[in-house]
Structure 1
Amino acid sequence: MKTKKGFKLRTICGENIIVAEGIENIDFSRIISMNESAAYLWQHIQGADFDADTLTKLLLEEYDIDEATARQDATQLIAKWQEAGIIA
């Protein structure tokens, strides 16, 4: 998987928000907000191929959590990003 072009992470009023850049990506019907760990992952996978294993490894490197929790979180996050249409 890869992040789709035209979606950038911005911090607005202390919130991590995915902002669509370019007319083809503009959809004002929803705002994509990310918590700290999701924003961390997004920053580290920009422009690179990734999968649940990649995200799991990044979570384990940054946070004090067990592998099962990291894998579950990574899998759920990928599903949410797919639903939001920001990865392909």
Structure 2
Amino acid sequence: MKIKKGFVLRQVCGENVIVGEGLGAINFGKMLALNETAAWLWQQAVAMDGFTIDTLAQKLCDEYEVSVDEAKTDVAAILDEWQNVGVVE
């Protein structure tokens, strides 16, 4: 899985939001607010050439005190949301 080109994480009024830039903005037309952990996961995903639930869950476990099962559940939920709004492929 990858972050689609044209989508970036920005700080808007103190909030972490994903916005479309260039062609990504044409079809997206909205902002997706992320909490601190989701924004951190977005940054990790951007830094990777490609990612899976397992690779992001491992990064989450390395950074935060969370079990592997909990990390996988949380990562799967956020990736499902990102897929539903069309910011990952």
Q: TM-score, normalised by structure 1?
A: 0.90
> Which residue pairs with 2:40 in the alignment?
40
Whole-angstrom distance in 1 between the partners of 2:74 and 2:24: 30
Is the contact made by 2:61 and 2:68 (CA closer than 8 Å) also made in structure 1? Answer: yes
Moved over 4 A (4+): none
Identify if the C-alpha distance between structure 1 residues 20 and 14 changes in structure 2 by more than 3 Å, giving closer, same or farther.
same
- Consecutive unaligned residues of structure 2, counting only runs of 5 or more, are none
Unaligned runs of 5+ in 1: none
Q: Deviations over 1:17-75 (max 9, x none)?
A: 011000453333x3211111111011111162001001101110111111111010011
Please identify which structure carries the higher helix content: 2
Over the aligned positions, Cα root-mean-square deviation in angstroms equals 1.3
Identity of aligned residues (%): 41
Alignment: residue pair count: 87
